Amino acid sequence: MSQALLDIRNATKIYQVGGGMFKDKREVVALQDFNLTIADKPATITTIAGESGSGKTTLANLVLGFTSLSKGNIIFQGKDTADMSPAEVIDYRRNVQAVFQDPFGVYNPFYRIEHIFDMVIKNFKLAKSTADVRERIEAALNVVGLRGEDILRKYPHQLSGGQRQRIMMARAYLIKPKLIVADEPVSMVDASLRAAILDVMLRLRDEENISFLYITHDLSTAYQVGDQIYILYQGSIAEKGLTTKVIDTPKHPYVQLLVDSVPEPDPDTKWDMDIELPDEETMRAGDAKGCRFYPRCPKGWEHCLSAAPPLYKIDSVDHEASCYLYEANEAAD
């Protein structure tokens, strides 16, 4: 069996917040014992879904190396990212790329668009000659429906958000990494352009064998492009499995609430009942024991407070949920 492309084991990230000379620091658990495996072949799109505070952004930062783990390991192609030499780090960067949410902030306003391409070509030694450089950039831009002569000499503020985000995808295509971490790539882009960007993602997966870690809060786009999905709630996995299975038949009460709250674009199907949100404080009890969702769970009972529920299998290996409702099923590994 080939080694996994990305293997995240028991990843935990704890932030120290607040504190000063006279106040104690508070611990916020952003990610707790998180496990994820992305196979080397075939290329897949793994969705990490969740609301704010779920830990999905933390996960992106960890995989991209912007922050380090408190506990656990991230292993990429057999090598632990914590033990990489500087040369291996460059190699890691070349193989793990990113597309970010904000199509404006990622461009340095001082430089023209060509700067972002030049940077990667130089650092990752992607081309052999000037002519080669130009050819590759042009090919990459064509994949997303843009042309070099329209784009390269312009400044970022002269282009639209949709164009800028497509250029980011072109950049990812140019590098041809093994894994792309796409952090909310379409949330700041107009609805009509989202399809174009998601389409590029699918093509990169199918034609170039690039896997994706697609991080989003939008279940509809996840449904359209994701193969596997992990739904996070306050740092832990609530439910995971095949995207269609999890969204069609959610088992965890939180995921059921989430799927139900997505507004249905059908005027005849309204939300069936009003829901209330509990107070902010009880929602974010980071040091609480037991299931994090308990304060909001319509089905919670005393047992849920004893310890955080592990993942249980739901009918097959393709679907697991961490809820004591399924304690009777066998525990997932």
Partner 1 sequence: MATPAVTLETSKPKRFNRFDNPWINPSLIIGAILILLIPLGSLVGNLVWDTDLAFVGSAPLKLPPVGFARDTIRGETIGTWDHPLGTDGDGRDILALIIVGTPRTLAIGVIAATAGMLLGIILGFTAGFMGGRVDDVIRLASDVTITIPPLLVLIVIQSVIPVNLIGMALLIALFAWPSPTRLIRSQVLSMRESGYVKMAQVSGASTFDIMFKEIMPNLIPYLAASFIGNMTGAILTAVGLEVLGLGPQRVPTLGSTIFWAIQLSALIQNLWWWWGFPCLLLAIMFIALLLINLGLDEVSNPRLRGASE
Partner 2 sequence: MTQIQKTERGKRENKLEPVLKVRDLKVFYDTPQGDVLAVNGINFNLYEGETLGLVGESGCGKSTAAYGILRLVQEPGRVVGGNVYLDDTDLMALDEGEFRRLRWTKLALIPQGAMNSLNPTMRVHAQIADAIRTHEGRQSKAALKERILELFRTVGLPARVYDMYPHELSGGMKQRVCVAMGIALNPSVVIADESTSALDVVVQRVVAQTLIKVKELLGVSMIMIGHDMGLMAQMVDRIAVMYAGKIVEIAPVRNLFKDPMHPYSQVLIDSIPSLKEKKPLKITEGITHDPRNPPPGCIFQLRCPHVMDVCRTEEPPLRELKTRQEVACHLYELSADGEVQRVASPT
- The answer for 221, left when phi > 0, alpha when psi is -120 to 50, beta otherwise, is alpha
Three-state SS at 208: helix
Residue 97 binds which one of partner 2, partner 1, none, with CB within 5 to 8 A depending on kind?
A: partner 1
d(CA 166, CA 163): 5
Q: What angle do CA 164, 243, 235 make, to 5 degrees?
A: 80
- 307 interface partner picked from partner 2, partner 1, none, CB below 5 to 8 A per type: none
CA nearest to 171, candidates 137, 207, 196:
137
Binding residues for partner 1, per CB under 8 A? 64-66, 90, 93-94, 97-98, 100, 102, 104-111, 116, 119-120, 123-124, 157
User: Min. distance of Cβ 201 from partner 1 in angstroms?
Assistant: 17
Per partner kind, with CB cut-offs from 5 to 8 A, the member of partner 1, partner 2, none near residue 223 is partner 2
Distances (CA, A) of 10 to 57, 80, 245, 247: 17, 13, 25, 25
Minimum CB distance to partner 1 smaller for 50 or for 103: 103
Phi then psi dihedrals of residue 29, to 5 deg: -90, 110
Q: With respect to partner 1, which residue has the nearer C-beta, 48 or 116?
A: 116
Residue 183: phi and psi, rounded to 5, are -95, 100
Quick one: 127 or 321, whose CB is closer to partner 2? 321
120 makes contact, choosing from partner 2, partner 1, none, with CB < 5 to 8 Å by partner type, with partner 1
Least distance (Å) between residue 261 CB and partner 2: 4
Q: Whole-angstrom Cα distance, residue 72 to residue 54?
A: 18
Q: Smallest distance from the beta carbon of 25 to partner 2, in angstroms?
A: 19
* Contacts with partner 2, residue ranges (CB under 8 A): 51-52, 160-162, 190-196, 198-199, 202, 217-221, 223-224, 244, 247, 257-259, 261-268, 270-271, 274-277, 279-280
Residue 279 CB, nearest distance to partner 2 (Å)?
Answer: 7
